């Protein structure tokens, strides 16, 4: 595409009215303003609404082919099937699509990009699409990627503590409604008492999430795996460029509004030291090392929510393996886990139009 170096690129935000869309508009208002026009796109139902971005009210337009006319970069945050249909339409018009659905993440012709880990991958995009990873992968991969660059990752075992906003606004509303039902009660001490109190108000979750943890996220895949677990494994491998990396994952939903946490057991090619691991994490872009248990310092969702970096703490060398490290990691699933990484990829790509 011939672009004058003076022109600032035009951005479309597709899915501007969703919960990730809302955070995207916030981030676009906070980051250095590199964009020319910002066009807000959503379903026909939401067309005509006005949303604020960069301090201005912008009217939402309905998704159709013509909205991509003159657009340089489009961020998509819409359901998988909508992305599958519309991202290629936009790409065919020369738009670089940054897609936050699962539709293209494992397509070998679509790079899966985390700017702190594999920024180079964003330059090679045969289909004109760059994919944004799943929020659970994103909540830990910046920290893991920094350690991998130094030590060479050999194996990963992770368990998630996933926030309800990973299931969208319905997830948040469900937890809040359930908390109102159980607060001020003596529930949580006999079989099924929480379930009876919650009744059929389980929203997008298979079980109550208040006063409970639920070892399920996503849909059922082969051999008892959840789609969320397969994403964490397959996407980690692709981002790190380690297609045969052994990855074990169990994904669990917890009663936290926003910010995913993960325990990470990582084994490397050679011996590691906690001191060197801390140095790496303390200086890695996009990572905050918060790790002083003697002073009561370790990351929790209550600290990390609403912030950009991946918070890392509880850094220990594995007791029985000098090549292993144990970590506890927190990342805001709506920011780095979705909107922020999408914005970072778009900004990376925008550099090509300068």
**Within 147-186, which residues bind a copy of itself (CB under 8 A)?**
157, 159, 161, 176, 179-180, 182-184, 186
Are the CB atoms for 74 and 95 separated by under 8 Å? yes
The one catalytic residue in 148, 251, 260, 330 is 260
* Inter-CA distances, 166 with 102, 270, 313, 320, Å: 14, 35, 22, 34
The H or E element spanning position 39 is strand 38-42
Rounded (10°) angle between helices 135-151 and 274-283: 120
- How far apart are the C-alpha atoms of 69 and 92, rounded to whole Å? 11
Strands 324-331 vs 287-289: parallel, antiparallel or unpaired = unpaired
Query: Shortest Cβ distance from residue 260 to a copy of itself (Å)?
Result: 10
3-state SS class at 113: coil
Q: Give the range of 8-16, 104-112, 130-138, 287-295 binding a copy of itself by CB under 8 A.
A: 287-295
Per-residue x/- track, 183-212, a copy of itself (CB under 8 A): xx-xxxxxxxxxx----------xxx--xx
Q: Give the range of 92-100, 102-110, 312-320, 336-344 binding a copy of itself by CB under 8 A.
A: 312-320
Are the CB atoms for 185 and 275 separated by under 8 Å? no
The H or E element spanning position 76 is strand 73-76
Q: Per rule CB under 8 A, is residue 137 in the interface with a copy of itself?
A: no
- How far apart are the C-alpha atoms of 110 and 183, rounded to whole Å? 46
Per-residue x/- track, 90-109, a copy of itself (CB under 8 A): --------------------
Question: Of 29, 43, 227, 300, which one interacts with a copy of itself (CB under 8 A)?
Answer: 300
- How far apart are the C-alpha atoms of 165 and 187, rounded to whole Å? 24
Q: Please confirm, yes or no, whether 135 is among the known catalytic residues.
A: yes
Nearer Cβ to a copy of itself, position 10 or 19?
A: 19
Q: Give the range of 32-40, 53-61, 113-121, 246-254 binding a copy of itself by CB under 8 A.
A: 246-254
Q: Per rule CB under 8 A, is residue 301 in the interface with a copy of itself?
A: yes
Q: Per rule CB under 8 A, is residue 140 in the interface with a copy of itself?
A: no
Q: Please confirm, yes or no, whether 148 is among the known catalytic residues.
A: no
Q: Per rule CB under 8 A, is residue 30 in the interface with a copy of itself?
A: no
Question: Of 169, 216, 227, 350, which one interacts with a copy of itself (CB under 8 A)?
Answer: 216
The H or E element spanning position 245 is none
């Amino acid at each position: 595409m011939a672009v004058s170096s003076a022109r600032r690129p035009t951005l479309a935000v597709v899915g501007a009215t969703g919960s990730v869309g809302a955070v995207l508009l916030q981030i676009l208002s906070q980051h250095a303003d590199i964009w020319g026009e910002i066009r807000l796109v959503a379903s026909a139902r939401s067309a005509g609404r006005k949303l604020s971005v960069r301090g201005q009210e912008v009217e939402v337009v309905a998704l159709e082919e013509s909205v991509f006319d003159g657009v340089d970069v489009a961020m998509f945050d819409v359901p998988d099937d909508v992305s599958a249909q519309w991202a290629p339409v936009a790409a065919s018009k020369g738009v670089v699509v940054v897609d936050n659905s699962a539709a293209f993440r494992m397509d070998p012709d679509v790079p899966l990009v985390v700017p702190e880990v594999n920024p180079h991958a964003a330059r090679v995009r045969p289909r004109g699409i760059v994919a944004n990873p799943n929020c659970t992968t994103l909540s830990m991969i910046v920290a893991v990627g920094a350690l991998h660059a130094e030590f060479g990752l050999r194996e990963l075992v992770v368990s998630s503590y996933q926030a309800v906003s990973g299931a969208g606004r319905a997830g948040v509303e469900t937890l809040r409604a359930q908390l109102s039902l159980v607060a001020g009660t003596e529930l949580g001490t006999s079989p099924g008492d929480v379930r009876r109190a919650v009744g059929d108000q389980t929203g997008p979750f298979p079980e109550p999430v208040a006063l409970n943890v639920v070892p399920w996220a996503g849909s059922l895949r082969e051999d008892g795996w959840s789609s969320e677990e397969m994403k964490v494994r397959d996407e980690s491998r692709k981002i790190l460029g380690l297609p045969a990396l052994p990855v074990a994952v169990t994904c669990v939903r917890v009663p936290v509004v926003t910010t995913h946490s993960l325990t990470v057991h990582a084994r490397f090619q050679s011996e590691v030291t906690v001191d060197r691991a801390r140095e790496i994490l303390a200086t890695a872009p996009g990572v905050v090392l918060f790790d002083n248990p003697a002073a009561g310092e370790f990351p929790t969702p209550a600290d990390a929510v609403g912030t950009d970096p991946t918070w890392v703490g509880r850094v220990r060398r594995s007791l029985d393996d000098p090549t292993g490290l144990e970590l506890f990691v927190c990342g805001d699933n709506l920011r780095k886990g979705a909107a922020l990484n999408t914005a970072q990829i778009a900004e990376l790509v925008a550099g090509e139009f300068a």
